[in-house]
Structure 1
Amino acid sequence: MMRFKSARQCQCFASTQGQIAKLLHLHRKHLTAADHRKLRASAVNTWREIALSTVL
């Protein structure tokens, strides 16, 4: 596991990671396989849009 140089760096990572996890992690027990695939595809597309917007 990566070590953080400061508490601030750790907090920044944790807050960002939490938002990403909410976007990508779905509760499969409440979904059919087809619905899960659609939602995963949507989440990945949203993540790509966000990642590309921060690079430019």
Structure 2
Amino acid sequence: MNPLWLMRMAKWVRHPPSLRQVQIAAVVIALVALIWGLDHFGFWPDWARVERAPRVPRL
């Protein structure tokens, strides 16, 4: 594990985030999970999907 994560975890223990920050993070994670679930189970509309552009051959 990267030692910077240990420093960040120690900082969070000493100075925990506010309730507002935790709520915002929870809402963002829930939205990401909802969008992923819709896409995974086939309910995401086709017009909202991104298609990869064809690869351009190198010269």
TM bracket (short chain): 0.3 to 0.5
State the TM-score, normalizing by the size of structure 2: 0.45
Computing the radius of gyration over CA atoms, which structure comes out larger, 1 or 2?
2
State the TM-score, normalizing by the size of structure 1: 0.47
